[in-house]
Amino acid sequence: MQIVKDEGPITGEQIAERLNLTRATLRPDLAILTMSGFLDARPRVGYFYSGKSGNQLLGEHLSKLMVRDYKSVPVVCQDEMSVYDAICTMFLEDVGTLFVVKEGGILTGVLSRKDLLKSSMGNQALQNIPVGVAMTRMPNIVTCGLEETLLTAATKLIRNQVDALPVVKEPEKGDGLEVVGRITKTTITKVFVEMGQGTSV
Amino acid sequence: MQIVKDEGPITGEQIAERLNLTRATLRPDLAILTMSGFLDARPRVGYFYSGKSGNQLLGEHLSKLMVRDYKSVPVVCQDEMSVYDAICTMFLEDVGTLFVVKEGGILTGVLSRKDLLKSSMGNQALQNIPVGVAMTRMPNIVTCGLEETLLTAATKLIRNQVDALPVVKEPEKGDGLEVVGRITKTTITKVFVEMGQGTSV
């Protein structure tokens, strides 16, 4: 690999010469390095370094996982609901984030445990605070689409320091974004565990 | 691979015969399958199926990542602190879980956003509830050790439905477990993103 990195494009024959090996001896190794993506080969040109490390190849594997296939069911509420009832809903549904929607499932806000804790620090009774006051509101919401990769979604989670993303699509009629799923840090952690067990994909 | 799976151990010559190919033609392919771990080969025996899928091989890669190398700094508090102050600490330190410790950093409890939300639903003022009442208490805490793999830690997060694990070790003197770090779903999501960028490990 070092030879190809330094001198590529270089033919198999030239590499064999440099290593004092016959081409036949070398052929399986070059085949492995080519098939596994570390080297590229072009007929009548020779081998050259693909610039991809083992980790990049792992990355390519990961980039085949799609939001569409891993999203879970969204738990939604309306913006007149009280913060108190929203906390109850969270416990009942066992989720860490609620999506606030209006008619047609159109996204208007996101309500995280953090938002609810912030409300609970005030002096007002939680029964009297509507969700609409506590939530993060459109257009300040980070979303993801069905055709995005899980990797893009995970990157958004980390960059924007949020626990969950609503998965959205264009509604059949009208404006806005329709909520069709959710991707959370739990989703990503589950995929990580599945990959380790060799059962993913 | 199917031939080897069905009839292994089988020699390269026999496989070539079955496929109407010369051994020379087949050699690079068998070399790839062997080197990538799908097949095993033993001299004077032949090729046999390793039973490892591509995902299992990916799993082997993942199982090299250790808690020791990925843990972040734990944020701790004492059990006399009020729930109100604990929520403030969470916001100031930007974490989702606090570890409650006594002298010597010995773990006594874990306080999640969920625990705090549950407290905030009661009628009592949050300033008057001590953390000790709201927290999950030893020995009901799931922990992980420095020499465990990230995969084991992630599995514990999912199985026990918690957001964070305290990383613990035996204290230099005395009983109990000393808190030395934390592993959260955020940790795992970050590693997932890094793998995708090919920068991990």
* Residues sharing a CB contact under 8 Å with residue B140, sequence separation 6 or more, in sequence order: none
Whether residue A59 and residue B198 make contact (CB cut-off 8 A), yes or no, is: yes
Q: How many CB pairs under 8 A join A and B?
A: 148
Residue A101 scores a pLDDT above 60: yes
Give residue A96's pLDDT band: very low, low, confident or very high (50, 70, 90): very high
B114 touches chain A (CB under 8 A): yes
Total domain count, chain A: 2
Quick one: B15 and B113 in the same domain?
Answer: no
Question: Which three-class secondary structure string do you get for A106-126?
Answer: EEEEEEEHHHHHHHHCCCCCH
Domain match, A92 and A133 both: yes
**Is there a single domain that holds both residue B82 and residue B164?**
yes
Mean pLDDT score across all residues of chain A: 88
User: Using CA atoms, how far apart are residues B169 and B176, in angstroms rounded to an integer?
Assistant: 9
Does B102 lie in the same domain as B173? Answer: yes
Between B58 and A27, where is the model more confident? A27
User: A36 phi and psi, to 5 degrees?
Assistant: -85, -5
- The one-letter code for the residue type at A15 is I
Q: Mark whether A83 and A39 lie in a shared domain.
A: no
For chain B, which residues score pLDDT lower than 50?
Answer: 199-201
pLDDT at A56 over 60: no
Instruction: Tell me which DSSP letter residue B61 carries.
Output: H
Amino acid at B20: N
Is A62 a member of any domain?
no
The CATH number given to whatever domain includes residue A168 is 3.10.580.10
Q: Are the Cβ atoms of B188 and A186 closer than 8 angstroms?
A: no
A61 in a domain, yes or no?
no
CB contact under 8 A, A117 and B114: no
What was the pLDDT predicted at A201? Answer: 36
CB contact under 8 A, B158 and A186: yes
Q: How confident is the model at residue A89 (pLDDT cuts 50, 70, 90)?
A: very high
pLDDT for res A156: 97
For B182, the 3-state DSSP assignment is: strand
Q: Residue A42 falls within a domain, yes or no?
A: yes
The verdict on B27 and B72 lying in the same domain is no
Which residues on B lie below 8 Å from A158 (Cβ)? 186, 189-190, 193
Task: With respect to residue A77, please indicate whether it lies within any of the assigned structural domains.
Answer: yes
In this prediction, residue B56 carries a pLDDT of 57
**Other C-beta atoms lying within 10 Å of the C-beta of residue B12:** 16
Pair A48, A74 in one domain: no
Predicted local distance difference test score (pLDDT) of residue A30: 82
pLDDT tens for residues A130-186? 999 999 998 999 999 999 999 999 999 999 999 999 999 999 988 999 999 999 999
Would an 8 Å CB–CB cutoff place B28 in contact with chain A? yes
DSSP run (H or E) holding A165: strand A164-169
Contact present, A9 and A47 (Cβ < 8 Å): yes
In terms of residue numbers, what domain contains A10?
Answer: 2-52
Q: Are residue B19 and residue B105 in the same domain, yes or no?
A: no
Q: Reduced to 3 states, what is the DSSP secondary structure of residue B151?
A: helix
Which of A14-18, A190-194, B150-154, B156-160 shows the lowest mean pLDDT across its residues? A14-18
Same domain, B146 and B72: yes
Contact B67, B149 (CB under 8 A): yes
B87, B163, B199 ranked by CB distance to A117: nearest = B87
CB B138 within 8 A of CB B108: yes
Predicted confidence at residue B31, as pLDDT, reads 79
Q: What residues of B are in contact with residue A35 (Cβ under 8 Å)? A: 32
B112 & B157 share domain: yes
Q: Are residues A42 and A81 in the same domain?
A: no
Q: How much is the pLDDT for A46?
A: 80
CB A126 within 8 A of CB A82: yes
Query: Does residue A58 lie within any of the structural domains?
Result: no
Residue B60 within a domain:
no
Has residue B61 been placed in a domain? no
pLDDT value of position B201 = 36
Q: Is B91 on the interface with A (CB under 8 A)?
A: yes
Question: Could you read off the pLDDT of B12-23 as tens digits, one per residue?
Answer: 888 888 888 888
Same domain, yes or no: A34 and A96: no
Under a CB-based contact definition with an 8 Å cutoff, are residues B126 and B120 in contact? yes
pLDDT tens for A105-120 read 999 999 999 999 999 9
Angstrom distance (rounded) from CA A134 to CA A132: 6
CATH number at residue A42: 1.10.10.10
**What sign results for the dihedral spanned by CA atoms B189, B192, B196, B197?**
positive
Residue A146 is predicted with a pLDDT of: 97
Residue of B nearest to A158 (CA): B190
